[in-house]
Amino acid sequence: MKPTAAEQSLFVVILGAGKGGSALIELLTRCSGIRILGVADSNPDAPGLQLARYHYIPTTSDIAWLVARDEASLIIDVTGDPAIPSLIARHKSPKTEVLGGIAARLIWSLIQAEHEMYEHLAHAEKLSTLGIFTAGIAHEFNNPLHGIMGFSQHLQGETDPAIISEYSREIVTLTRRLSEMTKGLNLYARTGQMPEITDVQIPQLLDEAIKMAAFSTMLDEVTVVRNYAPVPDMQVNPSELHQIFVNLIINAVQAMNARGHLTLSTGVEGGYLTVTIQDTGPGIAPQDLARVFAPFFTTKERGSGTGLGLYIVRTIVNKYGGTIEPVSQSGNGTTFRIQFPLSSAA
């Protein structure tokens, strides 16, 4: 009999939580059959340590202690510190293997290449979505522009101070509206290259995402229901979470043909911060449920969907240690349910 996946599990220890360590954590947590026993770095602010905590992976600054763990099948050393190999040799259990030096550098390069590929995909997905936004963006910009143009033309030659101040106020309001929109667009279009982790209020970000989604489809016929129970702030890159919500909202609205109820909820359930996005569309066919997250899976017409939306969504959710699942019965709408471990909350 073949051994089961659990029996085959590799228990990995990662030394070094800088760029290399973070990339390793991101990749290995996506592989089944691999468990990360712990991550060590002498710098308590190393970015990989935070990432590890999202995934409930123990972290420590005590490298010797972690190296000595008996269950470890493999130690991966990406510290680049010349003192580490001898420290490993002194403390590790005899059956633990070590990946270090040039071999670790090779792995690091492979991961780097994979990571770059993903970043390109994520960016391409954003650009393709921006493509479907352009008509909506033009519309949303042209309306206030029309107002600004109109009030300015009527200001010319106007001498009544009351009217002058009234029209100027209108122009200021319209200009503010334009600048709000460019802010929203900027949040979306920003590339993933510079991760900026900040405290993020999820309900506020959901509202931003609705505004953004309104560029791509008519939301006038969609009743938006907000069930925001108070949730703690999350420590995340807002641009990434924004991309998740925009994609899910656009999918929901597209599924409903822009007519129906869109319900957005937040809440805390048993150690998880939960966000659900629910629509009253046709639902997802049972045979498609397992495939919707696959890259390039789409049921939309050629040219209107790349099928990358949900793939990117799931990758980002997993990155923060979260899970996402569709709950759908054909004909009864779809609910996408996201759960983030509360450890990633501030």
251 is a contact residue toward Mg ion (CB under 5 A): yes
Measure Cα distances from 166 to 117, 141, 155 in Å. Answer: 53, 22, 10
281 binds, among Mg ion, ligand ATP, another protein, none (CB under 5 to 8 A by kind): ligand ATP
Interface region with another protein, contact rule CB under 8 A, candidates 34-42, 76-84, 110-118, 215-223: 215-223
284 is a contact residue toward ligand ATP (CB under 6 A): yes
The whole-angstrom separation of Cα 23 and Cα 26 is 5
The alpha carbon dihedral of 261, 262, 266, 269 has a sign of positive
335 is a contact residue toward Mg ion (CB under 5 A): no
Closer to another protein at the Cβ: 217 or 339?
217
Residue nearest to ligand ATP (CB): 309
Q: Measure CA 257 to chain center.
A: 25
> How many residues line the site for another protein (CB under 8 A)?
22
CB 287 within 8 A of CB 250: no
127 binds, among Mg ion, another protein, ligand ATP, none (CB under 5 to 8 A by kind): none
262 is a contact residue toward another protein (CB under 8 A): no
Q: Return the number of other C-beta atoms located less than 10 Å from residue 198's C-beta.
A: 11
174 is a contact residue toward ligand ATP (CB under 6 A): no
217 is a contact residue toward ligand ATP (CB under 6 A): no
Residues 162-201 that bind another protein (CB under 8 A): 170, 173-174
The token pair at 98 is: 């070590």
169 is a contact residue toward ligand ATP (CB under 6 A): no
Interface region with another protein, contact rule CB under 8 A, candidates 10-18, 133-141, 286-294, 325-333: 133-141
Q: Give the footprint of another protein on this chain (CB under 8 A).
A: 135, 138-143, 145-151, 153-154, 170, 173-174, 218, 220-221
Q: Give the footprint of ligand ATP on this chain (CB under 6 A).
A: 247, 251-252, 255, 279, 281, 284, 292, 297-300, 305-311, 334
